[in-house]
Structure 1
Amino acid sequence: MDKEGTGLIAGDLRGRHNNRKSLIPNEVKESVRDHISLIPIVDSHYVRKRTSKLYFEETLTYPALYRLYVDWMKENRPLKQVANSRQYKAIFYNEYNIEFHKPKKDLCILCDRYKRGSEKEKDDMKLEYTLHIANKTVVREVKETYKYQSKQSNVIVTAAYDLQKVLNTPQSEVSLFYYKRKFAVYNFTIYDIGKAEGYSYVWNETIGKKGSSEISSAVFLFIKQKYEEVLEKRCLGLK
């Protein structure tokens, strides 16, 4: 198209006029934001400090979240326009850094970086990663040695321990519970490999978090208990 008789062709103006209505009305956007703000974020064992992501509890999925929204709108804003699923999803994924938590196998920081890295990053990390895997193999061999010794002796203890998945309480699929702030319960387990005995040290968030002080306290209690057991066995003349 000639631009004002200049002989120049004007650019394509399709979709650039200012009289087009917003794809999602502001009122609808606000209703979605208000609803998302009602769903509490849960404490997760799998969330590492190096990530900024937040998580909903693992029983919640996007379809369930949208159904909660529709029911919430019917109950609290019956005369207002309800966002359709596509609109709700666009706002949720574009404006929020929240995921629906799915537990996965724990990886150490180096293994996680290597697994997620590009081909160039993996090539740069190849030597460090190879040494890391070699060290892991050596540690496993040492573990097997001590495991055998602990099975043969009453005074040698070989133990493995791990912080289990956070137990968010209460757990229910009743819609009301999704809006309740969850109560975090922590479960640190220690397994006596030689004796095939497991120990659980459980506390809730009013007592402590899941930091080094809490973990070391549980390990200390385990060592103290095992030490007292060894003393008792020695008094009985057991080796």
Structure 2
Amino acid sequence: MADLYAVYCRAAAEKNATPLSRQVFTDEFKRLNLGLYHQKKDQCNICCAFKNGNLPDDEWQHHLLRKEEARAEKLSDKSKDSNNTMVLCMDLQALLLCPKLKASALYYKTKLAVHNFTVYNMLTHSTTCYVWHEGEGSLSASEFVSCIVDYLSAHTEPDTFILWSDGCGYQNRNAVLSNALLQFSMKKNKVVIQKYLEKGHTQMECDSVHSVIERRLRDQDVYLPAEYVNLMKRARVKPHPYEVKYIDHTFFQDFTKVMLCKSLRPGVRPGDSTVHDIRAIRYNNNGTMDFKINHSDDWHPHPSHQLRNSTSDSHTVTPLYSDRLKIKELKFKHLQDLKEVIPKDFHSFYNNLLH
């Protein structure tokens, strides 16, 4: 604010005007409901490389074209008829830790990791958060697929689903998820389309959910993972509260045995397009797949040699875990040490963690 006031004073001097006092300037700034934008730390690597003169202009222009193309495509999807099409975006929130306290003892101890995978309906703004901690599940492809398939199975009214995400390999761009979506499409007679944003420019509507949750968590003490669930449910009131599903190891299914598609790669020869070049994948209810290298391209059929016989018996889904997961011995010890700053009513949860 001091820097902004200095700029204002210089502008007033150039116009031979008498500047207001710092206090009046600050009060007026707040009255107008203005704010100072703090640039995010995680900036696009390609844009930073160009800014520092380490990237040719033509490559950067191509990168910008793909960024704008993806954003225009997403904006177009948001205008679709919500009765026939459901447009979703999904992402994993930054890692949450438990317990979350201001006690100095926490700074030197490892804590329990808590995960929130968010699915956001861009047409109705309804949101579902899938929350679990590392004692109940990890971050493999099957965990994310279980959440996505659960959400789609609970909303089968539309004929078409469009899923927007970043291009994270283990989370959104892998054969496990593709096989599961193709299987869902065939079973439910639906069309599912995956679309990816340009790397480094993956801002989505579900990011606002994470921001609201982080503001709600500010200055809040959290002793148990389940307390995150209650805080998330109260994080938003309008248009309606977030739906939060607190899940355990019994929720997750092993989708690695579903092998309708052997590989996502559209080419086989050196120099052909790879998985990371794909910008959209369409799963058809007849068991076929199509892909796009650019959002503006026409759909191209996925190579038939990559698809397996849909009548194979190896497409069954089984539970991913037979029991809760073990945490590291050192982490269990640290959590036991932290019980001195945690109310006794919560000690049994940490005592019962497998290690």
TM-score by length of 2: 0.31
Which of 1 and 2 has greater Rg?
Answer: 1
TM-score by length of 1: 0.45
